[in-house]
Structure 1
Amino acid sequence: MNQSAKRSSPLQVALIGGAIATTATLSVFGQAWCRSVRAALQDSPKAIVDQVWQLVNREYVDGKFNQQDWQATRQTLLSKNYSSRDEAYTAIREALKKLGDPYTRFMDPKQYDALTSQTSGEVSGIGIRMELNEKTKRLTVVEAIENSPALKAGIKAGDEILAIDGKPIHDLKVEDASKLIRGKAGTAIVLRLARQGQREMDVRLTRATIEVPTVKYTLKREGSKRVGYIKLREFSAHAADQMRRAIRDLNGQQVDSYVLDLRGNPGGLLQASIEIARMWIADGGIVKTVDRVGGTELSKANNTAITKRPLAVLIDNNSASASEILTGALKDNKRAVVVGSQSFGKALVQSVHELPDGSGVAITIAHYYTPEGTDINHKGITPDIKIDLSDAQERQLAINPNLVATQNDPQYARAIAALSSRNFAQPPANQRSKPLSVRASDLKF
């Protein structure tokens, strides 16, 4: 997200599962209003307090505000004098806590910036993934991202990072090293690296804006079958484009079926989940959202599916929100067989507003339902084939990630067996989903 654009107006965005969608819908607080508030903030952080209250008052999904007197809350908030922004931030958080909704939350400028950076699907840096090697206790490159400065400079998996801009990084955590490595695109950085069998070397790089891969895919041979395996980490701004490229590439390799792995995927952009569902589903409902006054919005497939091949979806307890929208759409339309553990169970949609001082607020604005009208909130999606991993199995896959999506991965192995023996993973002819039907009175907060 462009930094200057990001600060020009309080952009309203749609949020699902803790991530934000960069829509082009402006908040009712216009630019002139924003400039006046920005000026007022120099003397009184109270303006931010009132703006948050106004946004919640207008948008929050529960018109009863969890049985709180929201008008009285405003009077209490504005009766105080705040000597600093931190004081105002604390007051806002305490007020929002009364709503009893962990997804309606205030973010200070650093937290808001981290959220937007994560979900934009882009990062300004050199394009490496790192880990702390358990044996050597050194920061080690796991991967140099495609088309990144790191890859172009010849940095490889296994390279150990010894210093950043001349400063040794002994005992530095991965998160702290990442902060040092990231920076404004166009700026220079020097890494001192150690590579097995070679002398230590200094590598000079220029930071760039990099599209972070959120889709990983490969062709697998399971007996006589060619299986396209796709792992989707989160629903970022680039997820749909990356998914489209993955499916088309695997289609070109003549796969017989697909496994879509959503395990551990916490969600992300609402629109990304809809776009990706349309790549698999030719016709039928995808998701329906209902706001606090019963206003509904129905998203449907639009005959743009790019594959009809059989599909299995893997989910677990950490597959949430946008992951559940996609899984629910595929399951209800009988487009896929769902394998794994019960999903997380979050059926709420948030909008995110940037505030004039760079902070932000996420507000739950709607409840969503699967195509058959199922409310999965606090329940999750039940797989067609339920198979839970034991603690030992989870540890084995965590310690040996190369075992994921192999016959040593019980959920993946069961998905392959289902694709081999069943036909319901193939979309039916003249595919039609049941109509979505839900009443506003069915909402649960």
Structure 2
Amino acid sequence: MKRLCSIVLALCLLLGVAPVHADLQTKPFAEVGEVYRNVLENHLSRPEARQLVQGALQHVSQQAAEQTLQLSVPADDDTLPELEKRLTEWQSRYNLDGKTLNRWAINGMLGTLKDPHTAFFTKEELNRFQAGVENEFVGFGFRLRMQGGTLMIRELIPQSPAAASDLQKGDQLLAVDGLSLKGKSFEEAYALLKGEEGSEAVLTVYRPSQKQERQIRLKRAFLSIPEVEGDRFAGSDIGYIHLETFGSDAAYQLRDKLTEFSQAGKPLRGLLLDLRDNGGGYLTAARDIAGLFMEEGLLMITTNRNGVELETWVRNGRDITYPVRILVNEGTASASELLAGALRDHGIAKLIGTKTYGKGSAQQVIPLLDGDALKITLQEYFTPKHTTVNHVGLTPDLTVEEHLSQVVEGLRSLGVNSFELREGNGDTFVNGVAFPVIEPLFKREQGGIAVRAAVLATLLRDKEIGNQGYVPLAPYLQKNKQLSILQENGDMVLRFQSP
């Protein structure tokens, strides 16, 4: 069983884990030397020795200044022996902790790279990172989405501390233990949210519907969720699969889900693959998943720091006989972009949604002394047609902003012309499949029932309705015989039949 954290923030394409070298000798700043050599010789940006040495020393000096220690950094220190000598001198003179100095110096080196995907991990941090890729987490039990520069809760995990609390989908996360999240990235927010099982934090959230700020105390816990979830859409032979991350079990679980679909009545005539908010994972998982859609083909092209190109191929896979639509958004990153770009370039899939994150680089985890590790960027990757992904992202074939509208348009592009949108138990169901949403589909207003404008505009293909807020439903029911609304078992149900 998998354990779920508050958010999945792998944002990685892992090439693998390098072996530990047996000839490493333990000395005071051995890890600094390991990281220095690995970065100098392998990082995609081709950094210079002076850049790394000065970055390390300057960062140590800055950290020491917070402890009222004034450490002078010689401008001519630009070699590893000089770096080690200076660290040894400072440790001895000021009785500084060796591990702390190692970490300060390493973080200083890595900070000069301007690469958020190259990182140093302690043994404990490495375990948490690998658990994240495998979708095994300790956390509060909610997932986040970045919307308009604000971190917003997009889903509460059933039977989690978050689900049992007063939190709601759509709440804006403002602070953790009093530390503001304004302007923070996903990675920075994750650093504040993570913690040990059983530890507590006070979350400050803002609820737009009530225009109210509140504080909620939550305890972190182990929770379980698979990497792959899915179902068939009612009334059609279209399958839906949501892939959470590219962990080591993802390809097996996706294969099993496709097999389940094939054994449940009629063969599929289309598939909606949801990669929204999927931050990536292992290259091997992306390759194996691609092999579930094509027998053989180019998966990606990579270039290293010397501009040498290498091709990664899918072999011994299987071709599918039906079209695929891939749902993407700004949270679709790394291995997700790799898979989406490859399947599109091979004519297997089309992308629907918004532009993806734009992480077209690949990392390797290199073990260091004492169980620590360095995750380092080694390559940039391109789609089979040599489309650039890094810092650019993939532009979808059909741009659709609203979450449920993306599903509707995906189904419509696969030939579905009847839609039933039902709201119940905190989810919105599209043709029988549940989707977590931030805002409700319906609202009761003085004039009657209102519906989200963007969803109605998509159903009716009427751009004049707009895509903001809610609109009264009654006028559109009068004008469109294909549209109807009713209540079933206490749930609101909106039905639309294309002419």
The normalised TM-score by structure 2 is 0.57
111 and 169 in structure 1: CA distance in 2 versus 1, 3 angstrom threshold: closer
AA partner of residue 416 (structure 1): L
Q: Greater CA deviation, 304-313 or 70-79?
A: 70-79
Tell me the amino acid that sits aligned with residue 87 of structure 2. K
Larger radius of gyration: 2
Q: Which stretch of the first structure deviates more once superposed, 47-56 or 73-82?
A: 73-82
Give the aligned partner of residue 263 of structure 1. 276
Identify which of 246, 251, 255 aligns with 1:244: 255
Matched, 1:26 2:33: no
Q: What does 1:2-401 correspond to in 2, within 5 Å?
A: 17-18=11-12, 20=14, 23=17, 25-27=18-20, 29-30=21-22, 33-34=23-24, 36-37=25-26, 40=27, 44=28, 46-65=29-48, 68=51, 72=78, 74-78=80-84, 79-81=86-88, 82=91, 83-84=96-97, 85-121=99-135, 130-133=160-163, 176-178=219-221, 213-221=226-234, 223=235, 225-253=236-264, 254-305=267-318, 307-389=320-402
- How far apart in 2 are the matches of 1:113 and 1:264? 22
Answer 1 or 2: higher relative contact order, Cα 8 Å, separation at least 6. 1
Cα distance, 1:52 vs structure 2 = 0.8
Counterpart residue type for residue 410 of structure 2? A
Q: Aligned to 1:260, what secondary structure does the other structure show?
A: strand
CA distance in 2, matches of 1:168, 1:357: 25
Structure number having the greater strand percentage: 2
CA distance in 2, matches of 1:109, 1:357: 7
Contact 1:20 1:115 in 2 (8 A): no
Work out the percentage of aligned pairs sharing the same amino acid.
25
Partners of 2:128 and 2:165 in 1: how far apart?
Answer: 31
Alignment: residue pair count: 318
Q: Which amino acid aligns with 2:30?
A: A
Q: Is the 8 A contact 1:73 1:95 kept in 2?
A: no
**Structure 1: runs of 5 or more not aligned:** 1-15, 139-164, 183-209, 395-408, 423-445
* 1:52-104 Cα deviation digits (max 9, x unpaired): 11111221112245993769263453121243212220111011111121111
1:31-67: CA deviations, max 9, x gaps?
xx24x42xx4xxx2x1111111111122111224599
What RMSD over aligned residues (CA atoms) do the two structures have, in Å? Answer: 3.4
**Cα gap change, 1:174 to 1:316, in 2 (>3 Å):** farther
How far apart in 2 are the matches of 1:316 and 1:67? 39
User: Per-residue deviation at 1:237?
Assistant: 1.2
Moved more, 309-318 or 49-58: 49-58
Are 2:229 and 2:242, in contact at CA under 8 Å, matched by a contact in 1? yes
Aligned amino acid, residue 263 of structure 2 = G
Q: Quick one: distance in 2 between partners of 1:381 and 1:347?
A: 10
Distance between the aligned counterparts of 1:48 and 1:231, measured in 2? Answer: 40
Distance 1:380 1:270 in 2: 18
Q: Does 1:410 find its partner at 2:379?
A: no
Q: Distance in 2 between matches of 1:122 and 1:133?
A: 18
Residue deviations 1:182-208 (CA, integer Å, cap 9, x gap): 9xxxxxxxxxxxxxxxxxxxxxxxxxx
Question: 2: CA distance between counterparts of 1:252 and 1:290?
Answer: 42
TM-superposed CA distance for 1:109, in Å, is 2.9
Cα separation, 2, equivalents of 1:248 and 1:285: 25
Q: 1:63 to 1:21 in 2, by over 3 A?
A: closer
- Structure 2 stretches lacking a partner, 5+ long: 1-9, 54-76, 140-156, 169-196, 204-215, 418-499
Could you say what secondary structure the match of 2:280 adopts?
Answer: coil
Task: Flag the 1:120–1:77 CA change in 2: closer, same or farther, 3 A.
Answer: farther
| Residues in 1 aligned to 2:269 and 2:138: alpha-carbon distance in whole angstroms | 38
Contact persistence 2:138–2:220 (CA under 8 A): no
Question: 1:233, 1:353 → 2: CA distance?
Answer: 25
Q: Secondary structure at the match of 2:233?
A: strand
Aligned-pair distance for 1:294?
3.0
How far apart, CA to CA, are the structure 1 residues paired with 2:200 and 2:372? 31
| Residues 108 and 176 of structure 1: CA distance in aligned 2, closer, same or farther (over 3 Å) | farther
1:131–1:123: structure 2 CA closer, same or farther, 3 Å change rule?
Answer: closer
1:307-365 Cα distance to aligned partner (Å, 9 max, x none): 32111000000100000000000111111111000001111111111222222211110
Counterpart residue identity of residue 418, structure 1: S
